[in-house]
Chains A and B, each alone.
Chain A
Amino acid sequence: MKNSTLPKLYEDMRRVRTFEERVGELFVRGQSAGSMLHLSIGEESAAVGVCAAMQDGDTFTTHHRGHGIFLARGADPNRMMAEIAGKDCGYCHGKGGSMHIADMGLGHLGANAIVGGGIPAVVGAGLSARHQKSGAVSVAFFGDGATGQGILYESMNMAALWKLPVMFVCINNQYGMGTRIDQATANPNLHERAEAFGLAARTVDGLDVEDVAEAATELMDGARAGTPAFLAVDCYRFYGHARKDKSPYRAEAEEDEGRKKDPVLRAREKLIEAGLMTEADLDALDATVAKEMDGSIDFAVAGEEPQMASMFRDVYDPSQPEPEPVRVRLDRVLAQG
């Protein structure tokens, strides 16, 4: 009991949940860049449970609903929130936004707004890890919707064929936008597909973060040793697809039932039951987290807009000339006359 990792798992999940709640606020206040904000509320155990099995040096890619995963891998919430607000002090200088946060220093090879777009990169990262004998695993996080993309199967096949240190994590929140999983596939037992390619594969219930962490650790250790793996985490998308979506396609009763699968609440109950933390301890922790995340909003709101000139930066390597702005070219062309 003393060595329980649950308090840390709880804290990490609470940080994700509170961060996402603040992202929602940023949108309501009109201070986010756009409305394409996909919150991972309800999916915290997938992010935190799997990331608990990762090590320094491991790499990963995420889908568009990736805030929680990156936070669980050690992201700075200030720079994340600033990126979501499109500010220069954000992780990608306001160029990427919510769907394109990345940080190579923490092994985050990039969040992706193309469903399935980030999956094959982990095959390449697996090749690198093998070639460099780094011992690193590369993990692709994606939603159930990405199981509709052929590139997932091409990638799993390569990973299995070449025995790469790679793991595929499908966060099955039961929906891709308004489409429920059973409306998008005739066989929702997703791990069976991975098995067919020769991967070690499991589905785990996301209600209990310890179950997720245990399954992820077993599979991740295997992947590190050369048996690529697939893990589906069953959970429920608590809110709409993006901030403006009120999910009119879901019955209220279904939502009420789905939201009972609350990994944060479950961990809280377990901590109290096991006598690891008291209600008061937990409230105090929650308050500290809330303060930290409030701070991230302040940081984002106070941040500067990107400089206009930065627009032309980073299309190519900094050693190369930047693209010529249209205005500059027009001035040159029309000055001839």
Chain B
Amino acid sequence: MAMQETTYRDALKLALSEAMTADDSVIVMGEEVGRYGGAYGVTKNLISEFGPERVIDTPISEAAIVGAAVGAAMTGLRPVAELMYVDFIGMTMDQLANQAAKIRYMFGGQIGVPMVLRTQGGTGRSAGAQHSQSLEGYVMHTPGLRLAMPATVEDAYHLLRQALQQPDPVVFIEHKGLYTMKGVLDPDVEPAEWGRAKVLREGKDLVIVTYSRQVHHALAAAEEMASKHGIEAAVVDLRTLNPLDFDTIRPLVEQAGRAMVVSEGVMTGGVAAELAARITEECFDFLEDPVVRVAGEDIPISVSPLLEQNSVPTPDLIVETARKMFA
């Protein structure tokens, strides 16, 4: 990798292409990943670089795509299967949750399933109820699956490279609203370790724990809190939800005494609920306020842009909530 300014999308592509160059067993398979270059352009031109035997266009058969990746992973390949939208994960859930996630355990540790399932989720394109969801909760609720959700260009690259080194299945969920985001990849900067959260902003008053696109909403909100309301909020980007790096969160919350969890997924029974419960359990004696969840509304996403935008946390809602905590 050379130092470069690039996009989230191209950083992902770079990670795939470098991994494929370094390791002949890495293959990419999914709908429209080859000739079309991926529905969001992540795999563009990979097929001319690596050929149709390693960049495999599949029929529209999600269950078999994931199932085939499981079998390939068990027999020596390192498949990267692409699920065009995370909304289709239900169609693959048996292969993912009953097969990929359980094979190592059920078979007494004989074999792992070192595959990556790349997909994307979230709102922002007026794509309607079946193409806008944030379903990381399904994955996080399944022991055996790792879960990475990059928020930045660096993490798009490094987390994907690291995912391809993992011994176990990784679900890698990109955000459709981030593909054109720009950032710098610098080979001289040591990448953060797999499984470690990053503190992107320091702050003594409040800890905001978040991931994926909401990291950017939280950072924008934290700036506004500081400049307009005198509240200094730390922002933690979890990067991976499994493994979950609680060691980074704990001291921050103990020091600030207040925590907020921000997630685009629906509030009830989701990732935000898990994180809030965990912080409450582990840091109870230090908390001055309940740990609040600023999360997606408990409703489907509408195609109407107005309703869509207001179905998930906005920077305004984060600021408003923080102010109430200090009122």
Identify the A interface with B (CB < 8 A): 33-36, 86-87, 94-100, 112-117, 145-150, 176-179, 183-185, 249, 305-306, 308, 310-312, 315, 323-327, 330-331, 333-334, 336-337
Contacts and interface: CB of A to CB of B under 8 A. Distances in A.
Contacts of B307: 94-95, 306, 308, 310-311
Contact residues on B (Cβ < 8 Å of other chain), bracket: 35 or more
Contacts of A325: 297
Interface in B246-305: 267, 288-290, 292-300, 302-305
A306 B297 contact: no
B128 A337 contact: no
A114 B131 CA distance: 9
A149 to B, nearest CB: 6
B292 A334 contact: yes
Contact of A305 (B125, B127, B296, B306): B306
B292 A148 contact: no
Contacts, number: 157
A150 B59 CA distance: 11
Nearest to B325: A334
A148 B32 contact: no
Nearest to A322: B299
Contacts of B267: 326
Nearest to A88: B304
Contacts of A179: 31-32, 35-36, 57, 59
A86 B59 contact: no
19 contacts: A33-B304, A33-B305, A34-B303, A86-B305, A95-B129, A98-B128, A100-B303, A112-B130, A113-B128, A147-B59, A150-B61, A177-B31, A179-B59, A306-B306, A308-B310, A323-B299, A327-B317, A330-B321, A337-B288
A333 B129 contact: no
Contacts of A149: 60-61, 91
Say what secondary structure dominates the interface of chain A: loop
A326 B304 CA distance: 19
Q: Sorted from nearest, which 9 A-B pairs have the closest CB atoms?
A: A97-B303, A34-B126, A148-B59, A178-B36, A94-B304, A86-B304, A148-B60, A323-B298, A113-B130
B125 A35 contact: yes
A323 to B, nearest CB: 4
Contacts of A324: 298
Interface string B131-145: 100000000000000
Contact of B304 (A95, A330, A337): A95
B324 A330 contact: yes
Contacts of A87: 304
B288 to A, nearest CB: 8
A179 B305 CA distance: 30
Given A100-B129, A178-B35, A305 B304 contact: yes
